[in-house]
Chains A and B, each alone.
Chain A
Amino acid sequence: MRRIISVLLENEPGALSRVVGLFSQRNYNIETLTVAPTEDETLSRLTVTTTGSDRVIEQITKQLNKLIEVVKLVDLTEGSHIERELMLVKLKATGSQRAEIKRTVDIFRGQIVDVTSSVYTVQLAGNSEKLDGFIQAVGTSGVLEVVRSGVSGIARGEKVLSL
């Protein structure tokens, strides 16, 4: 099952490489990984999406917790949560395609953030399925370049991940 694990990490050099090293060393999957400092600059927030059996997921969380620089973590998929990913896509956009793409972007609540005579650059945010859905809708033949941020997530309601 796919999981979203959110980690508060000491914002220190080398901490990220320990997390990434752990995943490869123990043969765990990383599907997406995002990391950035938080409002407290001594902490980074890292979000990793991964897949594995319940035993593997339990080991991932335990092994992550064992890293000295990991302060706290939560498996967001254990409760209701919000997940978002940002995507920027360059699409071939000439002739009648231009209107068609514009419509699709509107349906997906995206924005065209850059334009040339033959290319649209589209920005889209949402969960990963929505981003996949957009690519499907416009068709891969028109896609020139895709960049995705990887998943960020946060629990719904009053639960917070903080010190």
Chain B
Amino acid sequence: MELLSGADMLIRSLQDEGIEYIYGYPGGAALHIYDALFRQDKVKHILVRHEQAAVHMADGYARATGLPGTVLVTSGPGATNTITGIATAFMDSIPMVVLCGQVASTLIGEDAFQETDMIGVSRPVVKHNLSVRHPEEIPGIIRKAYYIAATGRPGPVVVDIPKDMTTPNERYEYVFPKKVKLRSYNPAIRGHAGQIKKAVDMLMAAKRPIIYAGGGVILGKATNQLTELVRTLGYPITNTLMGIGCYPASDKQHLGWLGMHGTYESNMAMHHSDLILCVGARFDDRVTNATEKFCPGARIVHIDIDPASISKTIDADVPIVGPVDAVLNEMITLVRESKEKPDADAIAAWWKQIEEWRAFHGMRYETSPDVIKPQEVVEALWKLTNGEAFVTSDVGQHQMFAAQYYKFDKPNRWINSGGLGTMGFGLPAAMGVKLTHPDDEVLCITGEGSIQMNIQELSTCKQYNLPVKIINLNNQALGMVKQWQDMNYESRHAESYMGSLPDFIKLAEAYGHKGVRIDKKEDLEPKLKEVLAMKDDLVFVDIYVDRFEHVYPMQVARGSMKDMWLSKTERV
């Protein structure tokens, strides 16, 4: 029998859970735990400069690897600083466990120093949260936390650990449970066979079908199944911002992504379709535009692991609750065995129409002889990295340009805060990726507004040698806000300018990194090449881009999917 203190049990449980990295920041209530960390070397701790960044780092790691991330912080301000990161992970269903110190159980409720009700504060933004009430519970709670975080529809789980649960000289028997079983939590393991059959019949009968895939395909590790089904059917596919990479963007059946800033052809094809096969997406408002005008002629098959995502905003004709990989596997078999075959003439006519749409817009943008367009930067990066980089992003115009012009053929490489839209996500997420993918190119495509929300992490990058490339699409404004003000507020730019930008090059240098400024169009490619050749350096690339550029296409507010602005003057 092995006797361990609560703190040692915690670290030992993390080891037994197979956790390699945790991201965190110490403080009083977590010090017993930090001491236990110090006395071992299996679990490595990364010290960030702000707890929010620890969560985004864990998040970036989780998105790139498909494994749950782990965060460790102290009580009170340490815990509350994680909330934005947790909410970011929650909205995008990212598996993660956040371990928070808490004041001693004897002090809870007394407004003790650094006491915050983290269970209460985090409740609306977690999949679940758990408190430790006795040190012996720790291994079981840790096991349960990871199990809940990583299964079903994944999400963040918070564990609140009062300081007296980790007291060094109080030892208990350590037993790491082999299995977790929860009578009240049983995610579906396969879809309903009858419903799947019905869906396949509808797919075979469709004349204008489209597959609409989301982040669930990536989270559910079903990109191979999806690709196989789509290729077997020969139907067009679009995906959400979160689904980027679930199907190769360079494939001709792929129409690009859809929604507010999606491609013309995706939005047109959705609107005119007669059958939508939705796989692991959730018909959110950035996709559907006005729900009452959504795809009037379409019947809808919706596959999701989360029943609550089905018929939430748009009614499904055929709901299928189950893990996407298992459901798609069954569909592939049925499609192959089906006596009915797709109506070749109808599908050919549908493709002809889609190709016309594709030719009509084709993600064109106006170039200029002397001003660098943000789109050009992303296209250049895509070329120079052979489309193989991990790209994290922040929130704003640069995010949309990155998603539009970097063509991802693989999953887990486009890493952005889609659901919450958290500025400040990009750099720490890139760090989380780089740490575990040291030989891969990791780009953080950001804006001068967003990067300043977690700029302190340049210091962490120095400490742990994380040579990410920061691509700052510097338009000297909170560009996306400004775009909305241009479009909806007669260009009254209320607080969307940042009049006092730092010298980012000097800033990078102050943290011990390299900085490169690009402000001439002819320098763009050569300098980017140089930057990418600096394998061992973090390079802050400050690129002065067109200050007046807007992101298009852009759906017209409260319209249908097909109502879009295609440029500042063209509306369809």
Q: Residues of A at under 8 Å CB distance from B?
A: 10, 13-14, 17-18, 21, 25, 55, 58-59, 62-63, 65-66, 68-71, 163
Counting chain B CB atoms within 10 Å of each CB, which of A17, A59, A66 scores highest?
A: A66
Complexed CA–CA distance, A10 and B130 (Å): 13
Known A-B contacts A68-B128, A68-B185; the reply to A59 vs B148 at CB < 8 A is: no
Instruction: Find out whether the CB atom of B184 lies under 8 angstroms from the CB atom of A59.
Output: no
Tell me if B572 counts as interface (CB < 8 A to partner A).
Answer: no
**What is the minimal beta-carbon distance from B414 to any residue of chain A, in angstroms?**
27
- A69 / chain B contacts, CB cutoff of 8 Å: 184
Given A62-B307, A66-B306, A68-B148: A14 and B119 interface contact (C-beta under 8 Å): yes
Q: Does B18 contact A (CB under 8 A)?
A: no
Interface residues of B in 171-185 (CB under 8 A from A): 182-185
For chain A, what secondary structure do more than half of its interface residues adopt (helix, strand, loop), or is it mixed? helix
Knowing A58-B311, A63-B308 are in contact, say whether A21-B124 is a contact too (CB < 8 A): yes
- By beta carbon, the residue of chain B nearest A68 is B128
**B123 interface neighbour in A17, A59, A163, Cβ under 8 Å:** A17
B312 at the interface (CB under 8 A from A): yes
- Known contacts A14-B119, A69-B184, then 16 further A-B pairs from the complex at CB < 8 Å, ordered by chain A residue: A13-B131, A14-B129, A14-B131, A17-B123, A18-B123, A21-B123, A25-B124, A55-B311, A58-B311, A65-B307, A66-B308, A68-B127, A68-B128, A68-B184, A70-B184, A71-B184
- Chain B residues touching A, range: 10 to 19
Inter-subunit contact A10/B184 (CB<8 Å): yes
Residues in B neighbouring A58, C-beta threshold 8 A = 311
User: In the complex, which of the residues B124, B131, B182, B312 contacts A59, with contact meaning CB atoms closer than 8 Å?
Assistant: B312
Interface pairs (28), CB distance under 8 Å: A10-B184, A13-B131, A14-B119, A14-B131, A17-B120, A17-B123, A18-B123, A21-B123, A21-B124, A25-B124, A55-B315, A59-B308, A59-B312, A62-B307, A62-B308, A63-B308, A65-B307, A65-B308, A66-B306, A66-B307, A66-B308, A68-B127, A68-B148, A68-B182, A68-B184, A68-B185, A71-B183, A163-B183
A68 to chain B, nearest CB (A): 5
- Give bound CA distance, A71 to B128, whole Å: 14
Q: How far is the CB of B291 from chain A (nearest CB, A)?
A: 11
> Please, which residues of chain A bring their CB within 8 A of the CB of B183?
71, 163
Residue of chain A at shortest CB distance from B310: A62
**Interchain nearest-CB distance for A66 vs B (Å):** 5
Chain B positions within 8 Å of A18 at CB level: 123
For B307, what are the chain A residues with a Cβ–Cβ distance below 8 Å?
62, 65-66
Closest to A8 in B: B184
CB distance from A129 to the nearest CB of B (A): 32
Instruction: A17 to B131: give the CA distance in the assembly, Å.
Output: 14
Contacts of B315 in A (CB 8 A): 55
Chain B residues near A71: list those with CB within 8 A. Answer: 183-184
Contacts of A10 in B (CB 8 A): 184
The proximity string for B residues 78-94 relative to A, scoring 1 for CB distances below 8 Å and 0 otherwise, is 00000000000000000
